Amino acid sequence: MEKLKRRTARENAFLAAFAATFGDAMPDEVIAASNEVGENKVDDFGRKLIDSYYEHSAEVNDIIRDHLKGWTIDRIPRVSLTVLRLAVSELLYSEEKMPSVVINEAVELTKKFGGEDDYQFVNGLLGSVVREMGLADQDAASQE
């Protein structure tokens, strides 16, 4: 499988993960279907994002739930929730520690596929996660 640009890989991973929210498909099935169609192929990086979320879904959902103010996880729009799940799992489990990039990409995905103002919610929640977990420090250090 050819290596995609990170933005494209994240978007394709999002599309596959989002599609999986409508049924009981396992990640491998969703990825295989995406790659078979050929339009939104999931490369190794995208597969790692999806696998990371599914492997750590309980912890990722708990982190999202812990950062909700006046909301329940069930009220979050499906697009925003899928973006949040992938972004939080990338923040925590990716080898690359670049929180500002992850947040920016999550915001852009939400702007593209979500409701008009949903990106603000995604940005705020992810920013809160990064600050609370001390991940912002890693981001600044990696740029030095």
Selected residue with higher pLDDT from 19 and 120: 120
Distance CA 10, CA 85 (A): 12
DSSP label at 73? G
Interhelix angle 78-93/99-113, rounded to 10 degrees, is: 170
Contacts 24+ apart (CB under 8 A), 27-31: 27/51, 27/54
Question: Residue written as tokens 């925590």?
Answer: 92
Q: What is the tens place of the pLDDT at every residue in 30-69?
A: 788 878 877 788 899 999 999 999 999 999 999 999 999 8
pLDDT at 140: 53
- Amino acid letter for position 103: I
Distance CA 128, CA 120 (A): 12
The three-class DSSP label of residue 134 is coil
Question: Taking 90 as the threshold, does the pLDDT of residue 136 lie above it?
Answer: no
For 48-66, the three-class secondary structure string (H helix, E strand, C coil) is HHHHHHHHCHHHHHHHHHH
